[in-house]
Every structure is written in structure tokens, then in C-alpha cells.
Structure 1
Amino acid sequence: MSTSTARAKRTPPPSGLIIVDKPAGWTSHDVVAKLRGIAGTRKVGHAGTLDPMATGVLVVGVEKATRLLGHLALTEKGYDATIRLGESTNTDDAEGETVATASAAGVDEADLRKGVAALTGPIMQTPPQVSAIKVNGERAYKRARAGEEVALVARPVTVSEFEITAIRRHGDLVDVDASVSCSSGTYIRALARDLGAALGVGGHLTALRRTRVGPYALPAARTLERLAAECVILPMADAVAAAFPRRDVTAEEAASIAHGGRLPALGLGQGPIGVFAPDGTLVALAEERGGISRSLAVFVP
């Protein structure tokens, strides 16, 4: 048998999610490329990019589960972060060049907590200059690295938790450890920048570890080394049941929604909602609008 024939007959892996503990120095794309080799398929993608400096939870979809990723990327995320006050960088994190310094020795804990409180809840946040936001069709980071000042528009995000866990002083610098829970699209680098600006001393992010993406948290995450030894894939049905409201339907209803039919809404929220057949098979993701439940993505043949 030729090599090409052997490849053609290779059984694809099961569809599902791989919860990765991303190492520092790797891009999210690097992780996807590595997992394509480990899982034995090109159909691999990730939900919610992590910067190379960051570590922690990266949700990766395999085969049909890649169609879940856009929905999972919109869920709330959790982080452990370290913010350095007294230095500003051009990327708002430790990977950039220092552009300003000021002594943070006079920043007391009360002012610090007041600054954190002002950045908690629904806020308007301007993304970092070096970010993947598109401006006139081009990524902001490409323009910024070419020396261009990019005018980025502030947008609404929600920081549901911003809790200081430790404060360490090093001469003119202050390192603040914090736990953050936030909506999709929130930049922790921007929180560090804005906290430093509010305190008048500048600030940037020196460490970031993502602890959670929706229901998927660090205890379930595996390093690339562990995944190379045993590629654990969370089945799609389990992944959807953990992340979204569940609706169990009859065989007739399952057949209908699989073919584009609509069902009466049950008040489960706008969605996504996991729709399951009587045997537990994941049929579709659906949304409820105007009293009707309709499919967003269908997963059965």
C-alpha cells in the first residue's frame, strides 16, 4: 500500500475539544499546528487567542467541533495576572519596549484598590495599539509595528471580577497580582495600562495565565507533552452540555431541526442551546428568538 493510500484510509479522530495548558512563548497557532500532528487531522482550530507571553487554558476544537469555537470564544474568561506599576511599554505588556517610567513608590493600597474598583463592572476599553483589531482592513499590530499611531475606538466590555491578591514593592516599582473574570474581548493588557494611567505612574502586564474559558478550567487542561503521550478529546456532546443550556427533543423533533426545521422556544435564552436526540446524540446548536427555536449549526449527517 502506498503512503498516499494509507493516509487516505486513516481514521479521523473523534470530534470534540482538547483543553490545552498553553506554554509561554507559543502562539495559539503554534499550538494548533502541534495538535494537528498529535491528533492526526488538519481540522483543528482554537477559541480565543492567547498572546505568546500568556499561559493557561486554550480551547481547541477537532473535526466537527471546530464549528463550536466561534460560540465558545464568546463565553466569560478568567485570568491570573501580574501588573507592574511605574513602567509603561508600547505593547502594554513585558514583550514591548519601555516608553515611560515614573516612581510608583507613593501609590498606597487604598488608591490602588480604588483604581481597580473603577475598572470593574461594565466599562469602555480601548484595545492596545499592538492588537489584532482590524483598522480599514489591516491588523492594528501591523500598523503599530510600522510606526503608525493607530486610532482605536473604545468598546464596551464587562469586568465582573478584578481582585487584588498580592502587592509587592521593589523600590520605585510595584507589582500587583490580581484575579480577573471578564467578558470576551477584554484585554488584560489594557486593564494594566489603564490602572497605571489612572494612578499617574503608568503600568503594563508582566505575567498572564488564563484559568478558565467558560466552564473549561485549568484542572481539565493538559500540557502538550501530556497530550503527545495521550491525546484526550472531550466528546462534542459532553463539551456542549458543559458550556450551554441543554434541550432534549424527541426523535421527530431531532429530525426536523437537523433538516432546518423550527421548534417552539422553551425560554432557555437566546443561545446557543445544545439540542440532543433521545439517545444523547448532539443534534445541533440552536437559538431562541421571537418564540421560535432555530438551528445555528447542525452536527448530525
Structure 2
Amino acid sequence: MNYRQEKNQMKAVLMTGAGGPEMLQLADIAEPNIVKPTELKVRLKAAGINPIDTKVRSNGLFYPDALPAVLGCDGAGVVDEVGADVLNFKPGDEVWFCNGGLGREPGNYAEFTVLDSRWVAPKPKSLSFVEAAALPLVLITAWGALFDRGGLQDGQTVLVHAGAGGVGHVAIQLAKLKGAEVITTVSSESKADFVLSLGADQAIDYRQCNFAERVNELTGGRGAEVVLDTVGPEVFKDSIEATAHFGSLVTLLDPGALNWSEARMRNLKIGFELMLTPMLRNLDSARDKHVGILNRCAEFIESGNLRGVVGHCLSLDQAAEAHRLIGEGHTQGKIVLEII
């Protein structure tokens, strides 16, 4: 379906209030325009769905008085126009990026978006727009958690929780590219098969056993030098005993109130990874870092050593259904909206 109706109008999915998926409504709105010389306008071909989208929809935007708003941090598309100071992109270039969708800058559940060109990277040629839109946020998150926060090194063991999920499935691959031994947790036999196909060395079905005990069994009692928690407080707490002494325990979430005595006894380094911080705090210096990660991952993708998995591809007018699917938590890989 072609959503374009008339000049200067576009279709977009608007968040009309905080609440359930029904708060997402397809609407006709004005196309955004370039207002700064460093901006470019992108005709979006696909938008990735991430858990942060559903949290913002449920709990409200990060900025007051921003409703209605277009959600979606991940986007891929074709450059339509460029500002006067944009030298590294031109109309027709295919790009991918993670920007907007939190209530201040427009997100990517739309036909067009305008953003600063310094957040944008050339799309890997071997990827479709749908595949590309699935990856920026999870690649930047996994990279930051494993390498910047966790300090993962060749020959170490890493435990990746929820390895079949969005961040988990790329974290497994990035860790293997680093030369690490990868253990991951899953909730089904099919997910175990999936993560093993991505290169994981061991898959632990956490429904069948105590994952911390199993990690220690697999490592001869040592534990994993790096643990990546993508799930939440209970998993974070239980992961302390799965982390090697002097190791790193990194979480994407708030671990809540804890007794830190065992973590202290183990001399653990505790890390937090929130890749949205540069957007939320206007940290322009982080732009180059994020784009650098995307460019480095593009090299891995083009060489066939890294891939993203799209579990569901839906149309723009199915954004509410996409949010319902991600809320169920049973998908493998990512959910993407294709914008035709």
C-alpha cells in the first residue's frame, strides 16, 4: 500500500496518550522540513520496534507537552534532501540510524523524518531496508555493554541473558567476533536452537535449572568474566553469583534495591548501559561514537560475520499490533515496520 496522499502530507503513526497499543493511531500529518544546515530529510523505508518504544507508549514521553508524538528510534531509508552544511550525504543515498522517537525529535513510524546528519551512517549494501532498520539500537547497545562497559576480551567467557531477543542475538555474535566463549539463557528449545545457530557455545533453558549454578558448572566454578543482563532486577540479582570474581556485571535496566554484599565480596565492576543517554542529554560528542559503531558493524555485516534476524515484518498501519507482539515477549530477533 502506498500511504502518500498529497504534497506536503504524509502518513505517520501518532502516540495520542500514555496507555496500551490502542494509543497508536495512523494519521495524516505535515511532512517535516529541514530547518538547520546540518540536517537531512529521509524518506523512510522501515522502522525498527524496540522495547523502549513500548515503555514510552505505556508510561509517557520523556518530554512534557510533546503529544501527539511519532515514536520509533530506529530507521532506514533514502536521503530525500540535505541541508547546506551536509557534505557527506546526498539525495539518493541509503542510510540507517538511531535517533528520535522519545518526544522531542520526531521518530520513525512515518513516511519521512528530518534529523541531524551527524547521527546517520551509510546503510550496509547487503541489507534490505527492513533488515537495516532492525539493527542500530541493538548494535549500539550490545557493543557498549560488552566492550565499553564490560571490557570483554578474547578468551573470556560471557553470559548473555535472553540471547534470542533483540540485543541478545547480536550480542552473541559480537562476543564471538571478539573471541569470547558465549553462554546464553533461553526459554524454549526452539530458542536454544536459534542462539546456537548464531554461534553461542552453550544455551541454558532457565526454566529447567538454576542458571547461575549451570554457569558455574560450565566454567569449572569460575563464573563468567562478563555478564549482560537484558531482563531486569531478579535476573540481575541472581547473576551476581554467576559472575567471576573481579568480573563485570552490566545491565540495561534498573536493578532495584539489592543486597550488594556478594557483589562487593567478588570485587565486581557494575555497569549500566543506556544508549539513549546521548539523545536525552544532548551529548553531541557521542554522535561520532554511535556512528562509528554502526560503521564498524557494517563491515562485519558485509563480510558475512554478523546478521540481524527479523522475526516479524508488519506494515505501518500495524504499529499497534507490533507493540502487542513485542509486549508478549515470545519473538526471536526483531520486529520491523515496513513503510511502502
TM range (shorter): under 0.3
Rg comparison, structure with higher value:
1
Give the alignment's TM-score, normalised by structure 1. 0.27
- Identify, as 1 or 2, the structure richer in strand: 1
The structure richer in helix per residue is 2
TM-score under structure 2 normalisation?
0.24
